[in-house]
Structure 1
Amino acid sequence: MTDEADRARRRAIRAEYAEEEAEAGEAEALESAQTVLSVRIPKQLAEELKEQAAAEHIGTSALVRKILTKTIHARLEEPPLTEERVEMIARRVFRELREG
């Protein structure tokens, strides 16, 4: 592949990526009001997020939103910690300690 063909291919990929990100952003904006949240994370984590986002063909921000949404919703769907659940957990822990 020539340098010019390679550059053209890269431009096309970037344009497609930008269009997809814009569409995703518009869809999310329509779903709910958004705000900006800045966080500091370790450099290695940032690199891992970028790699995973590239593997999924989405932007890093879209990946972080997806992870946060999935995590928060999963926590909200957990059954409440009732007295019965605490007793069941305690019995299991004591049983495992005796057997262990």
Structure 2
Amino acid sequence: MQKPLTDFPTGSVVRIAGIDGGRQARSRMLAMGMTPGCPVTVLAGGPTGCRVRVRGSEVVLCCGLAGKIMAVADDSDEGPRCNCCPGPRARAI
């Protein structure tokens, strides 16, 4: 089930399912490497924002941007999977 990134607890490994935002928000997220299907590790989360690891980099997102990123649990069959991560069940590094 898709839910905002802010709803996942610290330590969760999720995949980005989509970005519910305007062109500017989508562009900003894509520029940071947060593409649909990409695995992300939630390092610190909550309703005030998130610190995540994506593609080997740590990114801090305010609650507004983090709330626009829709994600699914990495072990879920729902949502897209990226082509750049090896293996059928890619994990964030």
The structure richer in strand per residue is 2
Does TM, scored on the shorter chain, surpass 0.5?
no
TM-score (norm 2): 0.21
Where relative contact order (Cα < 8 A, 6+ residues apart) is larger, the structure is 2
The structure richer in helix per residue is 1
Higher Cα radius of gyration: 1
